[in-house]
Structure 1
Amino acid sequence: MTPYAADTALFEQVLVHEDRRAAAFLPGTIDRAVAAAAAMQAERLLAALAHGEGVRNDDADDLAETASAVQRVEAKLDLLLGLFGVLMRERGHLPAPTRLRWSTRGARLNTDERTAPVADGTPGLLRLQPAEWLPDCIELPGQVMAGEPGRLWVRFDPLPAGLADALERHLFRLHRRQVAETRRHR
């Protein structure tokens, strides 16, 4: 498949988010039990992330009622999680940050041009860090649709309904945050 056709299949008429984050494609055959366990873990992590960010957003909307002590504790927790994330990345537990464009259908990610290309149809897991401050990753099973030096297109395998919904909500929050950030910098 051509890169243009892969872009069309993955990103046309669907919510898309593009940014730089820890992500890598891990080629290899995926056992059904492993894929199911990864999907359950990803759904739980995205749900917990949504809950945590929802609480923060509610607090941010009503700063007058938020105690400054709670804000300081949240700030310290953010710092600790950020430091833990750096340690995890340094120890090889998190993939290196890369340019990533993703939707509920799949992802396009930049890869190291020095690595051997991955053949179309190769199965594997897309491992990515859903939030910069979170020192954990989700793994989404999929297969390579197309590749070129320095880029790879991965179509996700059919996701369980709960995970598909959680991923769509997560992408929406990221998109909304990116739009708000762009407006602030104008």
Structure 2
Amino acid sequence: MNATGTSAALAEQALFDDALSCELQLPAQLFSDPGAGLGRLPQAEALLAGLSQVEDLRMDDTGEERGELPLLTQRMDAKLDLMLMLIGRLVSRSYDALPVRALRWSHRGVRLDAPASPATVAGDTGVLHLQPSEWLPDHLELPVTILAEAAAEGGMQRSWLQFGELPAGLSDALEKHLFRLHRKQVAASRR
């Protein structure tokens, strides 16, 4: 195994061993300005807390999933989803939307596939802009350190990005969000 393969394997271990993770396609982009995301950490926590409340409201008091709710409630929920999606599209037209990327996400960091960029190398710091839900037009800004990079298929570059020091509340909110995403993936695979 070459040095790039070794560092990629070590980065994979550091981010995902014994950690709940999800493989997703989400809007995300790495920016090289290391201090830009630090001021937005409280907003990231608030965004994930709000997203958590919305997701939790989709269950009734007994914890039953959406499919077991009364038909009228399901229809209202579907209409609300549609309205939020349409509002999100309108909002995204007013600013440059993040490109959709393949990624693997844990509470420790992200493995991101993006077009190759010679501007970044392992050890650099930056800010990961990540939209935590496809229907929500806002994004998280999280400080990251590039652990490793390797060439991927189709001229893409795979980067392993470790989150910087996050406040305890944001770290907890990230773990809860990832748990919900994982639970949705498991439920979808059972269907």
TM-score range, shorter chain: 0.7 to 0.9
Instruction: Extract unaligned runs of 5+ from structure 2.
Output: 152-156
User: 2:90 & 2:159 partners in 1: Cα distance?
Assistant: 27
Which stretch shifts more, 55-64 or 172-181? 55-64
User: How many aligned residue pairs are there?
Assistant: 177
C-alpha displacement at 1:124, in angstroms? 1.1
Does structure 1 residue 171 correspond to structure 2 residue 173? no
Task: Give % identity.
Answer: 43
Give unmatched runs, 5+ long, in structure 1: none
| RMSD between aligned residues | 2.0
Match of 2:58 in 1: 56
Deviation for aligned residue 1:93:
3.3
TM-score where L is the length of structure 1: 0.86
Runs of 4+ in 1 over 2 A off after TM superposition: 70-77, 83-94
| TM-superposition CA deviations, 1:13-49 (whole Å, max 9, x none) | 1111111110111112316xx51x3111111010110
Cα contact 1:117–1:147 (8 A) shared by 2? no
Deviations 1:148-174 (A, max 9, x none): 232111110011100000000000000
User: SS at the partner of 2:148?
Assistant: strand
What does residue 105 of structure 1 align with?
A: 108
Which amino acid is 1:145 matched to?
Answer: L
Q: In the alignment, is the contact (CA less than 8 A) between 2:147 and 2:162 conserved in 1?
A: yes
- Per the TM alignment, residue 81 of structure 1 is displaced from its structure 2 partner at its CA by 2.3
Report if aligned partners of 1:39, 1:163 keep a CA contact under 8 Å in 2.
Answer: yes
User: Which one of 118, 121, 124 corresponds to residue 119 of structure 1?
Assistant: 121
Give the TM-score of the pair, scaled to structure 2: 0.84
